[in-house]
Structure 1
């Protein structure tokens, strides 16, 4: 079914197809059942992390649902959790179009969306209407016009507005599409920013976990140092990784477009970063693996490198909702083949 749907969507521009899909998921989530098979997650994949229940490790990455409009639709797709955003305090239109490109020959995407979203007030309305029982994280970013020295104010504003409505938060300082944002990944800038956010978080009644999403383009030594410093200051987890500005061995016509590259070309680097973070933290801080996951084997490699959970984005665009069931069923089989009774037994075995 999705092969037919994709043929229609891929005749549209990438952003129009994205908008159309999101509208359908938000208004008619039950239609997903036409393309998403029912999932019975085995006990071998269930985990309790940060006090949250995950029936299986497969979630939706940030970027597909920037305003938390289609949460029931993601649940219908079979995801164990969904990350919405990136949201900024004030609405912003993002970068000029076109800003989203398919690289079909490389099974990849390039985006330079620029945190286009309706702002935190609109997201708060959507989050307040969601049904319980489905884990939803919120990805936080600063407005484009906010100078880096004032960025902490944006993040504190965001966590204050939706702090009691999200199951976890992600500090996004690694998108390549907001000028200067990645400069906040320096240890001198990031540690005090995170400490202030954690202090505000601790004032909230629910005290949701706070994660940091890191760039694959940082040097290995910088990633290791950041992981250790962030662990020391109390960060609850990492997402590895965001998109990359690297352009290695691509063959698609759109390969020269500027922006963040996601999909298959990112797979190995994101797995390497997971392994680095797992080693740096000695496996004590949960990691969500993200980047180039199209199959159960892709997800399993990230788990063996040190990921507790995984997220898909580009794989969902190319393979549709069935990707979730295929990964869930495949992970259970891979665990049994390797003699593991539970997914936690495989986390970090290659690290």
Structure 2
């Protein structure tokens, strides 16, 4: 953690969480963030579904929903960025308050509901991106064709991104998770893949799944993924579980992220890997080098951060990337790929 983060994070945590997040993005845009560029070594450079990453530590969707801080984020230590979710039309999301900080649990609960500026505004900003930037695809809350919304956003923005994520696992848009069922998911992904083929250069497509799936549901999603033509999966989104929480905000509705999600999301990741060899991005509760490494050894080809930065700052990405390089070296791995899945059986 930098000196600036030690000074500013306590102040930001004293404010309303959504206001604090907006101020954090403003600080990045005004040049107060790190500017060293992606941390990299020969061991950390890795290939993710055809994407050449400088390191396997990425920024999860939701942090920069509207792609307003792409330039400063590209100068940070992240190996790749994911922005959004973007919907065809702008929408305000759910009523405030809708973001809650659970400090005692190193966690957060949000019920944003895909608030964003819409694909047209976001696409204009994506034209000025640097590095590897992906877009999380979403559907409008009042859409008559939610499945079609994903393809619509990809068609509009696809020429200005390096990858896209189909997000049917947010718990904050009513009945969105119903699209994870076999028939609905097959149809949705077919539409997305057809849209992808209309781009000047088709991009890798990832599917982001929920952590609240049973064994049969995980196997079914993997089977659909294996035959759909997508490039990989992201495990996982936020959870509806509230097991073991201590915070006064534990009863708030919405998706829970942060430390309490780590074990659940990692078990889903390892179970998913039993059914597919598509690359998986591990997200959920990553707050340290050790946790990032556990995700990789459980089967993740890369990881993503978000909630932990509320408590440790954006320089956490640099700390984790540097720490991963040391752990790979100490364990005799010449690359990230060599470590992927070596412990997957331990999570079953």
TM-score (norm 1): 0.94
In the alignment, the residues of structure 2 paired with residue 332 and residue 156 of structure 1 have an alpha-carbon distance, to the nearest angstrom, of: 38
Q: Which runs of 5+ in 1 are unaligned?
A: none
Instruction: Name the counterpart of 1:10.
Output: 13
In the alignment, the residues of structure 1 paired with residue 267 and residue 102 of structure 2 have an alpha-carbon distance, to the nearest angstrom, of: 23
In the alignment, the residues of structure 2 paired with residue 188 and residue 40 of structure 1 have an alpha-carbon distance, to the nearest angstrom, of: 42
Q: Which moved more, 1:219-228 or 1:116-125?
A: 219-228
Q: Which runs of 5+ in 2 are unaligned?
A: none
Alignment of 1:165-204 (within 5 A): 165-204=160-199
Deviations 1:278-337 (A, max 9, x none): 1101xx211100000011100001001110010000011110022112111111121122
**1:262, 1:292 within 8 Å by CA — same for their partners in 2?**
yes
In the alignment, the residues of structure 1 paired with residue 55 and residue 307 of structure 2 have an alpha-carbon distance, to the nearest angstrom, of: 19
Instruction: Name the counterpart of 1:90.
Output: 89
* Structure 2 counterpart SS, 1:45: coil
- Residue 112 of structure 1: CA displacement? 0.3
Instruction: Name the counterpart of 2:118.
Output: 119
Q: Given the superposition, is the C-alpha separation of residues 179 and 59 from structure 1 closer, same or farther in structure 2, using an over 3 Å criterion?
A: same
Instruction: Name the counterpart of 2:340.
Output: 347
- Please point out which of 140, 146, 149 is paired with 1:143: 140
In the alignment, the residues of structure 1 paired with residue 45 and residue 223 of structure 2 have an alpha-carbon distance, to the nearest angstrom, of: 28
In the alignment, the residues of structure 1 paired with residue 70 and residue 311 of structure 2 have an alpha-carbon distance, to the nearest angstrom, of: 20
* Structure 1 counterpart SS, 2:83: strand
- Please point out which of 293, 297, 302 is paired with 2:290: 297
Alignment of 1:1-351 (within 5 A): 1=3, 2-26=5-29, 28=30, 30-33=31-34, 40-131=39-130, 134-147=131-144, 150-281=145-276, 284-351=277-344
- Residue 91 of structure 1: CA displacement? 0.5
TM-score (norm 2): 0.95
- Residue 21 of structure 1: CA displacement? 1.0
* Structure 2 counterpart SS, 1:44: coil
In the alignment, the residues of structure 2 paired with residue 121 and residue 138 of structure 1 have an alpha-carbon distance, to the nearest angstrom, of: 13
Structure 1 residue ranges, 4+ long, deviating more than 4 angstroms after superposition: 36-40
Q: CA RMSD in A?
A: 1.3
**2:38, 2:76 within 8 Å by CA — same for their partners in 1?**
no
Q: Given the superposition, is the C-alpha separation of residues 37 and 320 from structure 1 closer, same or farther in structure 2, using an over 3 Å criterion?
A: farther
- Residue 77 of structure 1: CA displacement? 2.3
In the alignment, the residues of structure 2 paired with residue 303 and residue 62 of structure 1 have an alpha-carbon distance, to the nearest angstrom, of: 19
In the alignment, the residues of structure 2 paired with residue 338 and residue 296 of structure 1 have an alpha-carbon distance, to the nearest angstrom, of: 14
**1:137, 1:169 within 8 Å by CA — same for their partners in 2?**
yes
**1:37, 1:325 within 8 Å by CA — same for their partners in 2?**
no
- Residue 220 of structure 1: CA displacement? 1.9
In the alignment, the residues of structure 2 paired with residue 191 and residue 332 of structure 1 have an alpha-carbon distance, to the nearest angstrom, of: 38
* Structure 2 counterpart SS, 1:229: helix
In the alignment, the residues of structure 2 paired with residue 339 and residue 216 of structure 1 have an alpha-carbon distance, to the nearest angstrom, of: 32
In the alignment, the residues of structure 2 paired with residue 206 and residue 38 of structure 1 have an alpha-carbon distance, to the nearest angstrom, of: 26
